[in-house]
Amino acid sequence: MTERVVLAYSGGLDTSVAIGWMKDKLGVDTIAVSVDVGQGGEDMDVIRQRALDCGAVEAYIADAKDEFATEYCMPSLQTNGLYQGQYPLVSALSRPLIAKHLVMAAKQFGATTMAHGCTGKGNDQVRFEVSFTSLAPDLKCVSPIRDLSLQRDVSIAYAEEHHLPIEATKHNPFSIDQNLWGRAIETGFLEDLWNAPTKDVYNYTDDPAFAGIPDEVIITFEKGIPVAIDGVKMTPLQVIQEMNRRAGAQGIGRIDVVEDRLIGIKSHEIYEAPGAMALITAHQALEAVTLERMQLRYKRQMVEPAWSDLVYEAQWNSPLKKSLDAFVAHTQEYVSGDIRMVMHAGRAVVNGRRSEASLYDFKLATYDSGDSFNQDAARGFIELYGLQSKLAAARDVRYGKGITLQASHL
């Protein structure tokens, strides 16, 4: 029996060419696997047929939109996952899910090798292969573009020569990856850092300079998961789709960043993540009133950056990531309530918060009558809180290193 390879198939030029290329160079049969994570574009049945027309012996389609929304996007939202404080992990979140379905297909169809269409310069090659080995360490892995030097001009020539049913152009300026959680755009003229993005870069968001009337939305959370929009109950998938539509119409979620890739290259990336960024803004606001001060500080400063780094750097299945997942899940126990937010002209601004589990006490916070705060306790607190600073300042004075104060002359 001819050895079988499971290929992460996008339906584009490179992975379409890879099917025949691997047959010619490696003598293997290809199982093409396409995973729908909400990327839109062509119908998945069209993509499946294209894989077969390009020579795949089997073509497997997985509708993973609900799975992606619930098991990948929601944990990232609960964590406020933002790589380098800006990027909501659009592509990084989808790769371990796609890898999972490829491994399942490999077991189903008796394949011994996994394949992907990544280059040697990007993060995704690492994400796919580390995900493969963490799920099925017995399977091998190849990358035709990287391992077989399958450059774009070579791919185009191969497609034309073999009359493959794929439109190929040498002038497509961008490399684009998109899914339910957002859209990533790179290469082309964006590789020059002085070049500003042009209007044709964007697809998920309207121009914020021409936003219409403000859109006020109320998002209801239960344990850190959005469960309703304006009182209408929704699944995680429906919430993301609705917020993509409404936040996108207001131009929210455009990100222009130079980020540090895992492999050591700095890259210029443009992202669109309207729903993700609006939901993260709302979630952070609810955490601010439901998490205890030290818990919130530790989560923001230590856990969220570490979790985001791990996901970005292909460690979705790592022991540390799983441990941090447990911490995040514990913090979300009381993150329930409503956030009211106004979306307009590229900004999502929270203007209302309510939660039965809130740690905000009106009687303690108010400066009006009804104030229950013990003012007398403040004097002793300040004395103790500043004790070490007071002793350190006195020591500086004893050693002639005290702060010299000079009167200003007006």
* Candidates 14, 36, 94, 183; catalytic one: 14
Q: Is 124 a catalytic residue?
A: yes
* Candidates 124, 155, 183, 336; catalytic one: 124
* Candidates 175, 230, 245, 395; catalytic one: 175
Pairing of strands 4-8, 29-36: parallel
CA end-to-end span of the chain, whole Å? 93
CA distances from residue 103 to 119, 205, 304, 393 in whole angstroms, order as listed: 21, 34, 29, 63
The Cα–Cα gap between 226 and 328 comes to 16
Contacts of 368 (CB under 8 A, 6+ apart): none
Pairing of strands 140-142, 113-115: parallel
Evaluated on CA atoms 263, 264, 265, 267, the torsion sign reads positive
Q: Is 308 a catalytic residue?
A: no
Q: Is 94 a catalytic residue?
A: no
* Candidates 4, 48, 50, 95; catalytic one: 95
Q: Is 175 a catalytic residue?
A: yes
| Length of the chain counted residue by residue | 410
- List b or e across 350-359, with b for residues whose CB sees 16 or more CB atoms inside 10 angstroms: beebebeebe
The Cα–Cα gap between 272 and 258 comes to 15
The Cα–Cα gap between 317 and 96 comes to 8
Contacts of 79 (CB under 8 A, 6+ apart): 303, 304, 307, 308, 324, 328
Number of C-beta neighbours around residue 362 at 10 A: 11
- List b or e across 73-84, with b for residues whose CB sees 16 or more CB atoms inside 10 angstroms: bbbbbbbbbbbe
The residues annotated as belonging to the active site are 14, 95, 124, 175
